Structure 1
């Protein structure tokens, strides 16, 4: 997959022939120096942006062949999203924000799934509160629950702990880890934090739009050393 922005002198190759597979029921972190293509890769594989060349599949479905309506339905029903900015609707309660994707699809939450998610996020007594009445960490837990309520094929998390303190970050990362181990979900997370990457099964390293390395069972020290080496050689 290749993604190019601009033309002529303004042409920028954000992704340069990237070929990658995200395995089911696995937690993958994507890392790399600033401008390496991390978020571009996530946006393309999540159907938020279209590649300039190549194909993207979710399961056996090719995203590149879908019209806008079909793509919107696929993102709603089969993909969960967690963003740094939470993206909760301020006029809705925590529970209404969680069930919003199902409401838009005209579906009711599975009672067993809903109960397990409520238990996992630990906000049972805050479900009737609006976002302004919740801390940043609590809002992000609501966002994580919203991403899981549809039982998606994959959850994409773009710097989910970027606006949180260390305690709240740990809570969110533990929840994402649990969503893989206990709920059999697939999680792909963009992060710049070596400690956050240790929650993943695998870390992919990008530089200048290319996939340059990967690491299994990552440690904070190993990830930090790899990031330093990428920045040092100017990849």
Structure 2
């Protein structure tokens, strides 16, 4: 079976705990995320939006159902194969930036390739860093960068390997409104100009306004997509 979805779930269910203390975070969720599109996942606290993203990215296994990255079913992968898939085909952007403090911006951006033991595509990375406006800050360490600049480094790192999907979990949560708008504009540009697929969890309707579509969750179920 082939699909135009970059990522999708089929009857995804995720339960934490057992018996009377069990909590169902995802309840029979079937949803697709199109290639080359920017999708926001929204919902109130506890709706399951971060759980959905973590399961889509292979960070957390489902209790039942299936997650596909393209045509690859994640449940059938060994731990080693799943680690390789996350490293080679998925980019991550988190609210807390997650940059290594001892590395320069350039070294942080090249880190996925270094971990994979591959040669980075320097022409591509140069294009990404120029687009995100980091050309004169590449020799600086994270402590020498503003929050907005650190998050732009994180986005450039996520794009460095040309992943199938970039998952962004509240990427503007630690940024002021101006830096947040710059970051969202770049993610929008990555979709429009680079053909990137972006899936972003956010509680902010302004941030969601940059997306092509919104998937809304409530009580672990899709209410509108």
Q: Same fold (TM over 0.5)?
A: yes
Instruction: Tell me the equivalent position of 1:76.
Output: 87
1:24-44 Cα offsets, whole Å, 9 max, x none, are 000000000110000000000
Whether 2:186 is the aligned partner of 1:136: answer: no
Instruction: Tell me the equivalent position of 2:6.
Output: none
Instruction: Tell me the equivalent position of 1:90.
Output: 101
Q: Distance in 2 between matches of 1:89 and 1:28?
A: 28
Whether 2:43 is the aligned partner of 1:16: answer: no
Instruction: Tell me the equivalent position of 1:209.
Output: 220
Q: Distance in 1 between matches of 2:187 and 2:75?
A: 28
Q: Distance in 2 between matches of 1:129 and 1:135?
A: 11
SS at match of 1:125: coil
Alpha-carbon offset, residue 111 of structure 1:
2.6
Point out where structure 1 has 5 or more consecutive residues left out of the alignment. Answer: 215-235
TM-score (norm 2): 0.94
- 2:185 alignment partner, one of 174, 181, 192: 174
Instruction: Tell me the equivalent position of 2:18.
Output: 7
Matched length: 214
Instruction: Tell me the equivalent position of 1:199.
Output: 210
Instruction: Tell me the equivalent position of 2:119.
Output: 108
Structure with a larger share of its residues in strand: 2
Structure with a larger share of its residues in helix: 1
Instruction: Tell me the equivalent position of 1:46.
Output: 57
Instruction: Tell me the equivalent position of 1:226.
Output: none
Alpha-carbon offset, residue 112 of structure 1:
2.3
Q: Distance in 1 between matches of 2:88 and 2:113?
A: 8
What's the RMSD between the two structures over aligned residues? Answer: 0.6
Q: Distance in 1 between matches of 2:107 and 2:206?
A: 32
Alpha-carbon offset, residue 146 of structure 1:
0.3
1:56-87 Cα offsets, whole Å, 9 max, x none, are 11111111111111101000000000000000
TM-score (norm 1): 0.90
SS at match of 2:32: coil
- 4+ runs of 1 displaced by more than 2 Å? none
SS at match of 1:20: strand
Q: Distance in 1 between matches of 2:19 and 2:13?
A: 17
